[in-house]
Amino acid sequence: MDKNDQDNKERGKIVFFCKDCEEIVDTNRVGRKYVYTCKKCRTKNVAFGTEKSIATFFRLDEKEEKKGKDKKKKSEKEGEEKKK
Ligand SMILES: [Zn+2]
């Protein structure tokens, strides 16, 4: 079994978040570098990480809540952030 594949399943899949669009977007990879451009606005202002880390870092949970989507317990995540 591929160890990396197993890790990905445990940590969640990798997603790309465009800081300009302020949402998770599809990207194009630029050449052989680790540079990605947003397919929507075509800037390189794209961060990537696991779904969970991106959601926590950019506080996507809070935005979801404003939209009235499924309410998650966010108190645990807030507690983690305050440890800095
Ligand atoms: Zn964008």
pTM: predicted TM-score of the whole model, two decimal places: 0.59
CA of 83 to the centre of ligand 1 (A): 31
8-18 burial: b if 16+ Cβ within 10 Å, else e: eeeeeeebbbb
Cα of 41 from ligand 1 centre, angstroms: 4
Q: Among candidates 56, 57, 47, which has minimal Cα distance to 15?
A: 47
pLDDT in tens, 29-80: 988 888 899 999 999 999 999 999 999 999 887 766 666 555 555 545 555 5
How far apart are the CA of 26 and the centre of ligand 1, in A? 9
